[in-house]
């Protein structure tokens, strides 16, 4: 509340200041909006877009041309431009999704260059000379004590951008975005539609760039030179130099880079050299950017004040899966309720090849009865991992069907499977290293809540948002407790935890959403004997809660100890399935796998 | 038509050399050196200024190329190594290499002024007629050097131990320490090679572009676009991208209008990207990949 | 080569007893490939301010100059304009690169804008040379219309096989084209818009254009591009074995760039110069000597016209006994035949450019003497 009043007071002050200071504010605010919008896709989603200058140009030129040529009202233009550029963003996002990383950056760069060429060579855009921008109307004389109306408009635009971006950062969506960036298979298996989320977020980012464009047109004049490739690179530099993926970083970077050439009035060439030198020094010494400088100092101070804490211990697991309160805006949990289906998971006639002619799986049947622990074993190259990926939706079988609790799912991609009660873990746990274990676990809950993406834009202001955050956190705590990780682990960053704890966290993330079928891919890799025993206990307690567990493992002693039924594959062929004891003593199995 | 092709190849050879300058560095270190264009400018400026002060031309040329080569190494130690040491996956080198580029540009302007200076003219002279098309000796030399560079680089990469380790590091940077290779020395060589390539490009294009501190930006962007056309995975492919860009530019200039070179190459590039997102010459070849997919679908249809 | 050091607020310090200093602003691009133009503008302005203050100022008040580098960016230019107005500037000088922005702001904020305004032409007369000029902008700059008219006149007399024109698509090139078409009576054999690379000032190749001109049969070509591209053109023309009569524009002979880059191939290049610079009188010679002494580089027309602009501004203030914008506007429009470094200069309500075709001398480059010799 106090912050709001302060902001309003600052705006009022600016609205009465000189034309020049208002101009500075406008430029700094516009670039802050652009930097914030880019941080959303580059910092949080890892999409390094060099196309934001092009989107910015569309907003500015769109506003100017539609206003001066076609007489559209400036305020009506605001939603038009924002939505219009947002749609362009969605189109670019969908096209560019096929490529990642560097190629996306380059494709978006080409987009900026093309927009620049169109702006330079068309008559309606004024060619190289550009166009005079629209004049922002002033307040009626009754409100003249508020000062220049334009300042309030700029202030409002900046506020909107800050609210949207900061809300997303505080929302339940934030860990999911980072997961899409760092650990996409994990995000997809947790039920997040990664492709759609990326496109939507890029569209949102583009919409904000359009807002920046609308605001910028009131500076006085727009020319193609203001929206070229260099501008695009500068926006990215603002984000990185200020501090990528931070609240204030993009704003600090934007203010510095956009105002330096105007405010610093020393010697034109030497101040450019200084400018370049600042880039190098800041990044080399504090790669997290300007904001990083401040946080490093703060950390030093804090470290000096607090005593060092001992590493937390991993507890014995609790005997039941106490999860805390049920999520209230959750979708009805159809999975754990009693199903009439004979099999929890039923895969029939599965065949698959990665490359034409080389069959990896040949006509496999794999069925799992509900409420059992079912093992899947086989020597290297037997196709176990491929089968797991087919069951969880990372791959689609060339032939055959997969059913979960009676529903046919083989054509559905990975994010759709949690809706049918299936959650999985991965051989090498890849989670979001820069956030805590509890945040990573909440990712497993996202598919159970409605409208998270839409609500994330104003999350802290929504009672449902705050409520859902609380319940997600408490469910996450419960899940972590149930795998033996107590309170002292919940806030620790995944980057700082040992491997065994990471595996358990992954397990907690898979369990937190109360799946009816749990698919574990080599969960024991790298665990100590004590940790393995702990996992056995966890699996047994899951079974007693009615969860069907499928375990793929190399450690056969564990499998035959813990599993009720076991299936054996070798060289893509089905060998045997049945009760654990039966399979263990089967001659064929011993020959093919146990080497006896 | 032959004229367009040859002139385009000569123009494109320059873009290709710049693109290779980017690609070699990226190949080994996964870094894009944003000061690449300014290194090209440095070689042109040093050559010009030395020759204006009486240095024999051959020496001036060598000095120019040496400057950009050394410049590349300086960029590594100043702007890239410290950043990568902190976090191998960070993109902060974008900012620091850009900073070096800004400094190089303005420093050159401080020392030598902002106006263009004449580059020592060696071979421009008269044109040679090849089957009806006219080409200057400079252009012929440019195309020749470009081909030599590509072939030479491929031999270096595939046949020498250094090159093979470079390939290994490129596909898995962690391997480097595992096999006992000194990552720093490979990176230094990569940056030096990158500087060398654009230095050569500089002395080849100098007579046309003259010497100006602000050349770096536009050559840097053209090289970047060429890199993307050819595909970033293989430095040799980026030369191909440059040649394509050069031919497209001259084609557009000649057959559409003089302003078409602004947009025509980009439109083509966009189409290329939609069809083969990883560049025309991506490893394995776009054609092979499409053929394979076609085969798979035919097998599926039959069964 | 020296660069003007960028100290804001050059000029006599402190106010005279009569009152506070009169603040004037100057905006020009002093960095970038065309930085030398901006540097000349600022230098000339500074010399004028110093001279005026040495003789007692304007109406007994000293002039204070605040200036900034816009680096050809419209954003920076707009912010600098507003900054200087906020610092009290009653008039603005410039900019050679962002004139559309400065003129637009001059018109909307009612602040007189003078001096080196983007090579004159369409920036001042957006509706063509016969239309109404921008009410708040007066250009002392090398007027592209005027130079174009000279080219057209020459072509009428000496280009019986036709004239080709290559020009850039901005106001700069379009102004030249308009000037040529005003006086050249026939249709142009070739009329092509060439995109130039502004960051480095040189385009990769003009070979296809040369072929096109040859095909059209024209033997004269006006290359209305940057001096760098003009040099590239003559170089490539030479290497292809062709020889047209090549004409230039206002920048060709303004400084040594073209001559230096074209070398021997520049022989015969036709351009035009301000008669006042070409055949300088004592005042101009004195100015050139003082300029050389102070800045260690040779003067250029951009410095001289900026010098003239400041003096004309001072005259307008003195004549109206006021620094109010309206008064300056009225008085500027009344200045007739002011004896400036660049010639006899006049402004009226319709005439907002000082340089016209009659004030130019057609010249031709001779590599033998490394000078521009007059053409009759």
Query: Is the pLDDT confidence value at A586 over 70?
Result: yes
Partner-chain residue, chosen from C31, C73, C109, that has the shortest CB–CB distance to A268: C31
Mutate which: A110, A181, A434, vs B, most B CBs within 10 A? A110
Confidence band of B301 (pLDDT split at 50, 70, 90): low
Q: What is the mean pLDDT of chain C?
A: 88
The predicted model gives C126-150 an average pLDDT of 90
CB contact under 8 A, B259 and C195: yes
Question: Are residues B279 and B231 in contact, defined by beta-carbon separation less than 8 angstroms?
Answer: yes
The CATH number of C22-143+280-358 is 3.40.50.2300
How far apart are alpha carbons A526 and A547 in whole angstroms? Answer: 25
pLDDT surpasses 80 at C7: no
Instruction: Indicate whether A324 pLDDT > 60.
Output: no
The verdict on a CB contact (< 8 Å) between B106 and A272 is: yes
Q: In the predicted model, is pLDDT for residue A318 greater than 60? A: no
Q: What angle do CA A144, A149, A153 make, to 5 degrees?
A: 150
Q: Which of A25-29, A485-489, C120-124, C237-241 has the highest mean pLDDT?
A: A25-29
Q: Which pLDDT belongs to residue A337?
A: 45
Highest CATH level, class, for A342-420+520-525+549-596:
alpha beta
Which CATH superfamily groups domain C146-249?
Response regulator (3.40.50.2300)
Task: Answer yes or no: is B109 within a domain.
Answer: yes
Residue B40: its chain C contacts at CB < 8 A? Answer: none
Strands ordered across the beta sheet of A345-355: A358-368, A345-355, A399-404, A407-408
Which of A98, A230, A233 lies at the smallest CB-CB distance from B277?
Answer: A98
Inter-chain CB proximity B210 and C261 less than 8 Å:
yes
- Note the pLDDT of residue A6: 87
Average pLDDT for residues C155-159, to the nearest whole number? 92
**A265 in reach of chain C (CB within 8 A):** yes
C230 at interface of B, judged by CB pairs closer than 8 A: no
At residue A445, the 3 state secondary structure works out as coil
**Distance between CA atoms of A312 and A66, rounded to whole angstroms?**
62
pLDDT for position B278: 61
Residue B292 lies in a domain: no
Burial B241-258 (b: 16+ CB within 10 A, else e): bbbbbbbbbbbbbbeeeb
Q: What is the pLDDT of residue C1?
A: 37
Q: Where are the domains of chain C?
A: 22-143+280-358, 146-249
Inter-residue contact B213 to B109 (CB < 8 Å): yes
CB contact at 8 A, A579 and A547: no
Statement: residue A240 has pLDDT above 60: yes
Long-range CB contacts for residues C252-255, cutoff 8 Å, separation at least 24:
C252/C227, C253/C363, C253/C365, C253/C372, C254/C142, C254/C300, C254/C301, C254/C302, C255/B115, C255/C36, C255/C227, C255/C298, C255/C300
Query: What whole-number distance in Å separates Cα of residue B64 and Cα of residue B51?
Result: 10
Homologous superfamily of A422-514 in CATH? Answer: P-loop containing nucleotide triphosphate hydrolases (3.40.50.300)
pLDDT confidence tier of residue B297, bands split at 50, 70 and 90: low
Predicted local confidence at residue C85, as pLDDT: 95
Contact call for B115 and C200, based on CB within 8 A: no
Q: Specify the CATH number for the domain of residue B92.
A: 1.10.3470
The conformational region for residue B30 under phi > 0 = left, psi -120 to 50 = alpha, else beta, is: left
pLDDT reported for residue B101: 96
Q: Which of A97, A100, A106, A289 is the best residue to mutate to test the B interface, defined by the most B CB atoms within 10 Å of its own CB?
A: A106
Asked if pLDDT for residue A351 goes beyond 60, the answer is yes
Cβ neighbours around C283 below 10 Å, total: 12
Tokens of A51: 């196309």
> What's residue C348's pLDDT?
93
Please report, rounded to a whole number, the percentage of residues in chain B having pLDDT higher than 90: 35
Cα A397 to Cα A375, A423, B301, C104: the distances in Å are: 21, 19, 14, 65
Q: Give the mean model confidence (pLDDT) for residues C21-44.
A: 93
Q: Is the pLDDT confidence value at C315 over 90?
A: yes
Q: Above 50 in pLDDT, residue C5?
A: no
Q: Using a CB-CB distance cutoff of 8 angstroms, which residues of chain B are in contact with residue C43?
A: none
Buried b vs exposed e over C173-196: b needs ≥16 C-beta within 10 Å? bbbbbbbbbbbbeeebbbebbbbb
Question: Cα A288 vs. chain centroid, distance in angstroms?
Answer: 20
Residue range A412-433: mean pLDDT, rounded: 89
- Chain C CB contacts of B253 under 8 Å are 205, 208
B23 located within any domain:
yes
Confidence of residue C127 (pLDDT cuts 50, 70, 90): confident
Q: Is the ipTM of this complex over 0.90?
A: no
pLDDT digits (tens, 9 = 90+) for A177-213: 999 998 989 999 999 999 999 999 999 999 999 999 9
Place of tokens 């950056």: A105
**C188-195 mean pLDDT:** 88
Q: Give the residue on C whose Cα is nearest the Cα of B205.
A: C204
Residue C14 CA: distances (Å) to CA of C9, C22, C56, C66:
11, 11, 13, 14
Q: Using pLDDT thresholds of 50, 70 and 90, give the confidence band for residue C16.
A: very low
> What confidence score (pLDDT) does residue A147 get?
82
Q: What CA–CA distance (Å, rounded) separates B30 from A342?
A: 52
Candidates B127, B217, B219; nearest CB to C240: B127
Q: With respect to residue B255, please indicate whether it lies within any of the assigned structural domains.
A: yes
pLDDT at A333: 37
Percent of chain C with pLDDT over 70: 92
A230 chain-B contacts, CB cut-off 8 A: 217
pLDDT-derived band of residue B295, with 50, 70 and 90 as boundaries? low
Query: What pLDDT does C15 receive?
Result: 41
Mean of the pLDDT values across residues A280-306?
Answer: 87
Give the gap in angstroms from C-alpha A262 to the nearest C-alpha of chain C: 6
Any idea what the Cα angle at residue A156 is, between residues A151 and A159, rounded to 5°? 125
Residue window 19-58, chain A: list those with CB within 8 Å of chain C: 19-24, 27
Residue C114 to chain A, least CA–CA distance (Å): 19
Q: What are phi and psi of B119, to 5 degrees?
A: -85, 140
Instruction: For residue B3, name the pLDDT band (cuts at 50, 70, 90).
Output: confident
- CA B185 to the chain's CA centroid: 21
Give CA separation, A402 vs A216, A395, A396, B297, C59, in Å: 54, 12, 10, 22, 94
Q: How confident is the model at residue A93 (pLDDT cuts 50, 70, 90)?
A: confident
pLDDT at A486: 84
Q: Name the token pair of C225.
A: 């591009």
- Boundaries of domain holding B228: 2-278
Q: Could you tell me if residue B69 is inside a domain?
A: yes
pLDDT at C18: 54
Q: What is the pLDDT of residues B173-225, one digit of tens each?
A: 666 667 666 778 888 999 999 999 999 999 998 888 889 999 899 899 889 88
Contact A19 C109 (CB under 8 A): yes
C280 pLDDT exceeds 80? yes
Cα distance between residue B129 and residue A184, in whole Å: 58
Q: What is the pLDDT of residues A251-265, one digit of tens each?
A: 999 999 999 988 988
Interval A121-162: pLDDT, tens? 888 888 888 888 898 888 888 887 888 889 999 999 999 999
pLDDT at A100: 62
Please give the tally of structural domains in chain B: 1
pLDDT of residue A484: 83
Q: Edge-to-edge strands of the sheet including C245-247?
A: C190-193, C163-167, C220-224, C245-247, C270-274, C360-366, C371-374
Asked if A120's CB is within 8 angstroms of C169's CB, the reply is yes
C34 inside 8 A of chain B by CB: yes
**pLDDT of A547 higher than 70:** yes
C195 in contact with B, Cβ within 8 Å: yes
Q: Do B258 and C209 touch (CB under 8 A)?
A: yes
B187-198 pLDDT per residue, tens: 899 999 999 999
| Residue A313 pLDDT greater than 70, yes or no | no
Answer yes or no: is pLDDT of C339 > 50.
Answer: yes
Of B114, B210, B258, the CB nearest to C192: B258
Residue B110 contacts C where some CB pair is shorter than 8 Å: yes
Q: What is the pLDDT of residue B252?
A: 84
Residue B153 forms part of a structural domain: yes
A53 has a pLDDT exceeding 90:
yes
Judged against a pLDDT cut of 70, whether residue C199 lies above it is answered with: no
Q: Which residue has the tokens 């270190």?
A: B29
Q: In angstroms, rounded to a whole number, what is the distance separating the alpha carbons of residues A103 and B277? A: 7
Residue A308 scores a pLDDT above 70:
no
Number of Cβ within 10 Å of residue B231's Cβ equals 26
Q: Name the residue among A27, A128, A272 with its Cβ closest to that of C31.
A: A272
Per-residue pLDDT, B52: 92
Task: Tell me phi and psi for residue A445, to 5 degrees.
Answer: -100, -15
CB contact under 8 A, B274 and A272: no
Chains that touch A (3 or more CB pairs under 8 A): B, C
Residue recorded with tokens 């536009």: B218
Contact C85 A128 (CB under 8 A): no
Domain residue extents for chain A: 2-229, 342-420+520-525+549-596, 422-514
pLDDT higher than 70, residue B290: no
For the cut 70, the answer to whether the pLDDT of residue A359 exceeds it is yes
CB contact (8 A) between residue A356 and residue B91: no
C75 contacts C95 by C-beta, under 8 angstroms: no
Question: What pLDDT is attached to residue A527?
Answer: 85
List, for residues B30-59, the tens digit of each pLDDT value: 899 999 999 999 999 999 999 999 889 999
The full length of chain A comes to 596
- Which has the closest alpha carbon to A42: A238, A191, A291? A238
- pLDDT at position A356: 77
Q: Provide the shortest C-alpha distance from residue B200 to chain A (in Å).
A: 25
């Amino acid at each position: 509340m106090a912050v709001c009043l302060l902001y309003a007071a600052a705006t009022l002050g600016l609205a009465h200041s000189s034309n020049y200071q208002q101009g500075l504010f406008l430029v700094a605010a516009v670039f802050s909006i652009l930097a914030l919008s880019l941080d959303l896709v580059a910092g949080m989603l890892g999409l390094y877009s060099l196309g934001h200058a092009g989107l910015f140009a569309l907003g500015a030129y769109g506003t100017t041309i539609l206003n001066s040529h076609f007489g559209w009202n400036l305020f009506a233009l605001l939603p038009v431009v924002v939505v219009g550029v947002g749609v362009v963003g969605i189109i670019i996002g969908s096209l560019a999704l096929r490529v990642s990383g560097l190629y996306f950056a380059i494709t978006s760069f080409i987009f900026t260059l093309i927009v620049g060429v169109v702006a330079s060579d068309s008559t309606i855009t004024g060619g190289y000379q550009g166009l005079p921008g629209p004049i922002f109307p002033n307040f009626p004389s009754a409100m003249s004590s508020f000062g220049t109306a334009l300042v309030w408009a700029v202030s409002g635009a900046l506020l909107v951008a800050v609210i949207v971006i900061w809300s997303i950062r505080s929302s339940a969506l934030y860990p999911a975005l980072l997961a899409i960036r760092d650990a996409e298979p994990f995000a997809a298996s947790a039920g997040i539609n990664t492709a759609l989320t990326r496109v939507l977020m890029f569209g949102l980012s583009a919409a904000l760039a359009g807002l920046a464009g609308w605001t910028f047109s009131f500076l006085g004049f727009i020319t193609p030179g203001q929206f070229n490739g260099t501008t695009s690179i500068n926006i990215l530099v603002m984000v990185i130099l200020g501090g990528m993926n931070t609240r204030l970083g993009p704003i600090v970077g934007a203010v510095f880079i956009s105002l330096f050439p105007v405010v610093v009035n020393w010697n034109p060439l030497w101040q450019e050299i200084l400018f370049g030198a600042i880039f190098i020094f800041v990044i080399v010494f504090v790669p997290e950017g300007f904001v990083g400088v401040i946080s490093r100092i703060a950390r030093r101070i804090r470290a000096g004040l607090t005593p060092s804490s001992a590493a937390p211990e991993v507890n014995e697991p609790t005997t039941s899966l106490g999860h805390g309160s049920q999520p209230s805006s959750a979708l009805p949990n159809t999975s754990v309720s009693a199903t009439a289906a004979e099999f929890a998971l039923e895969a029939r006639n599965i065949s698959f090849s990665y490359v034409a002619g080389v069959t990896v799986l040949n006509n496999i049947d794999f069925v799992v009865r509900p409420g059992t622990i079912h093992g899947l074993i086989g020597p290297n190259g037997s196709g176990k991992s491929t089968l797991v990926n087919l069951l969880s939706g990372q791959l689609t079988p060339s032939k055959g069907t997969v059913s979960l609790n009676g529903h046919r799912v083989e054509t559905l991609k990975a994010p759709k499977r949690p809706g049918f009660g299936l959650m999985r873990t991965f051989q090498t746990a890849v989670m979001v290293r820069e956030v805590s274990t509890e945040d990573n676990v909440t990712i497993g809950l996202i598919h159970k809540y409605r409208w998270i993406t839409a609500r994330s834009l104003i999350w802290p202001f929504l009672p449902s948002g705050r409520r859902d955050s609380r319940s997600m956190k408490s469910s996450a705590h419960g899940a972590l407790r149930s795998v033996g990780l107590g309170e002292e682990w919940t806030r620790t960053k995944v980057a700082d935890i040992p491997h065994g704890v990471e595996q358990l966290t992954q397990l907690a993330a898979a369990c937190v959403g109360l799946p009816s079928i749990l698919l574990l891919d080599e969960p024991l890799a790298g665990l100590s004997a004590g940790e393995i025993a702990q996992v056995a206990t966890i699996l047994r307690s899951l079974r007693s809660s009615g969860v069907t567990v499928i375990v793929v493992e190399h450690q056969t002693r564990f499998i035959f100890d813990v599993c009720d039924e076991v299936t054996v594959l070798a060289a893509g062929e089905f060998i045997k399935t049945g009760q654990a004891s039966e399979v263990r003593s089967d001659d064929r199995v011993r020959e093919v796998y146990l080497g006896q | 038509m032959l004229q367009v092709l040859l002139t385009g190849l000569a123009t494109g050879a320059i873009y290709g050399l710049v693109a290779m300058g980017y690609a070699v560095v990226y190949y080994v270190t996964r870094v894009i050196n944003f000061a690449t264009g300014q290194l090209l400018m440095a070689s042109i400026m040093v050559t010009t200024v030395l020759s204006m002060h009486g240095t024999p031309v051959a020496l001036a040329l060598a000095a120019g190329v040496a400057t950009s080569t050394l410049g590349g190494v300086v960029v590594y130690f100043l702007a890239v190594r410290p950043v990568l040491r902190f976090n191998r996956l960070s993109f902060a080198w974008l900012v620091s290499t850009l900073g070096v580029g800004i400094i190089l540009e303005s420093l050159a302007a401080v020392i030598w002024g902002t106006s263009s200076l004449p580059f020592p003219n060696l071979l421009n002279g008269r044109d040679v007629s090849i089957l009806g098309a006219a080409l200057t000796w400079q252009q012929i030399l440019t195309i020749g050097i470009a081909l030599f560079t590509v072939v030479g680089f491929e031999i270096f990469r595939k046949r020498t131990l250094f090159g093979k380790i470079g390939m290994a590091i490129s596909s898995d940077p962690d391997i480097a320490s595992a096999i006992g290779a000194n990552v720093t020395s490979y990176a230094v060589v990569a940056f030096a090679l990158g500087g060398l390539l654009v230095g050569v490009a500089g002395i080849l294009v100098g007579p046309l572009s003259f010497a100006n501190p602000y050349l770096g930006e536009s050559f840097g962007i053209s090289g970047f676009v060429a890199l993307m056309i050819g595909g970033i995975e293989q430095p040799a492919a980026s030369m191909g991208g440059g040649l394509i860009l050069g031919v497209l530019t001259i084609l557009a200039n000649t057959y559409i209008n003089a302003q078409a070179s602004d947009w025509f190459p980009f439109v083509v590039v966009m189409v290329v990207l939609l069809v083969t997102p990883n560049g025309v010459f991506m490893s394995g070849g776009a054609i092979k990949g499409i053929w394979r997919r076609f085969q798979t679908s035919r097998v599926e249809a039959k069964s | 080569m020296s660069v003007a050091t960028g100290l804001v607020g050059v000029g006599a310090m402190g106010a005279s007893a009569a009152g506070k200093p009169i603040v004037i602003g100057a905006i020009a691009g002093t960095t970038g490939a065309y930085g030398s133009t901006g540097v000349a503008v600022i230098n000339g302005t500074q010399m004028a301010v110093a001279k005026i203050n040495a003789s007692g100022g304007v109406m007994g008040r000293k002039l204070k100059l605040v200036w900034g580098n816009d680096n050809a960016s419209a954003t920076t230019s707009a912010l600098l304009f507003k900054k200087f107005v906020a610092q009290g500037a009653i008039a603005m000088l410039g900019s050679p690169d962002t004139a559309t922005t400065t003129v637009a702001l001059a018109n909307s904020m009612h602040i007189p804008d003078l001096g080196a305004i983007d090579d004159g032409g369409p920036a001042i007369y957006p509706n063509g040379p016969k239309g109404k000029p921008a009410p708040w902008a007066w250009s002392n700059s090398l007027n592209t219309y005027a130079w174009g008219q000279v080219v057209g006149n020459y072509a009428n007399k000496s280009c019986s096989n036709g004239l080709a024109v290559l020009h850039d698509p901005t106001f700069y090139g379009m102004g030249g084209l308009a000037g040529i078409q005003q006086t050249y009576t026939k249709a142009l054999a070739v009329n092509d818009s060439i995109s130039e690379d502004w960051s480095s000032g040189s385009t990769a190749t003009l070979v296809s254009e040369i072929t096109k001109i040859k095909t059209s049969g024209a033997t004269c070509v006006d290359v209305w591009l940057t001096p760098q591209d003009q040099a590239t053109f003559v170089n490539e023309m030479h290497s292809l074995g062709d020889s047209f009569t090549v004409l230039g524009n206002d920048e060709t002979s303004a400084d040594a760039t073209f001559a230096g880059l074209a070398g021997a191939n520049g022989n015969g290049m036709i351009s035009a110069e301000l008669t006042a610079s070409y055949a300088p009188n004592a005042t101009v010679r004195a100015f050139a000597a003082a300029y050389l002494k102070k800045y260690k580089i040779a003067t250029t027309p951009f410095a001289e016209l900026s010098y003239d602009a400041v003096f004309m501004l001072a005259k307008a203030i003195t004549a109206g006994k006021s620094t109010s914008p309206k008064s300056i506007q009225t008085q500027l429009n009344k200045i007739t035949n002011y004896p400036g470094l660049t010639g006899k200069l006049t402004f009226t309500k319709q005439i907002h450019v000082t340089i016209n075709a009659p004030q130019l001398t057609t010249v031709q480059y001779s590599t033998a003497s490394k000078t521009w010799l007059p053409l009759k």
